[in-house]
Structure formats: structure tokens, C-alpha cells
Amino acid sequence: MGKIDRFEALVAWQKARMLTQAIYEATHRKGMAQDYGPSNQMQPSVRMTMGLAHAD
């Protein structure tokens, strides 16, 4: 396995980034954006996923 110089090179981080983008896009669509409950739960959860993807 080669050395990874940046956390952005981690496959886990890249997939978490794609998931984050997909969740934010979904929660900003008309129907979901108006339903604050699920959006309010999903967005912080996906931010936490990004944090875990590059944690030491």
C-alpha cells in the first residue's frame, strides 16, 4: 500500500464526500426542504460521516 499524503486521497473520504453531496442535494429539493424534520437530522449526520472519514 502506498503512502497517502492527504486525507482527500482516501477512498473512504471520497465516498463520504459523494454521499454528503447527494444528501444535501436531496434535502434541498422542494418536497424535502419543506419538511424540516428529516433534513434537520440528515444534514448533521452526513457532516459527521465526513469527519469520521478522515479521522485519525
Please tell me the predicted confidence (pLDDT) of residue 54: 59
What total of structural domains would you count in the chain? 1
Kindly state the cell numbers that stand for 36.
424540516
Confirm whether 4 is domain-assigned. no
Q: Which structural domain range is residue 34 located in?
A: 10-51
Cβ(18)–Cβ(52) below 8 Å: no
Q: Which residue has the cell 428529516?
A: 38
Collapsing DSSP to helix, strand or coil, 4 comes out as coil
Read off the pTM.
0.62
- Residues 13-56: tens digit of each pLDDT: 888 889 888 888 887 777 766 666 777 777 777 777 777 665 65
Judged against a pLDDT cut of 80, whether residue 2 lies above it is answered with: no
